[in-house]
Amino acid sequence: MNLLCSPQTIFILAFSTIFFVAISIIKDIPDVEGDMKYNIRTFAARFGGKNVAYFAVGLLLLNYIGAIAAAILLPQAFKRSVMLPGHIVPSLVLLFQ
């Protein structure tokens, strides 16, 4: 199997990209006052910090759900004993925080 097209490679690229996008969006929230003062159009300045936080948390939860689904649907590619608790636990922490 070609390493570049393997399920593991596609998973880590997709998961990391979505994760870093969500974290980048969250990191903009504390700067919303300065962004508005200097007319910098970030997501947080345009849609409000609370709305952006909900969006980013939703994005992270969908990312974790995708990882859980990958572990269930592709057992030949992923170790369920690692993937399931490794993504269920942080998703529950995020959900109930």
Q: Indicate whether this model's pTM tops 0.85.
A: yes
Contacts of 10 (CB under 8 A, 6+ apart): none
Q: How many domains does the chain have?
A: 1
Cα distance between residue 32 and residue 49, in whole Å:
7
Residue 51: which domain range? 3-95
At 79-95, the pLDDT tens digits run 999 999 999 999 999 99
Average pLDDT, the chain: 94
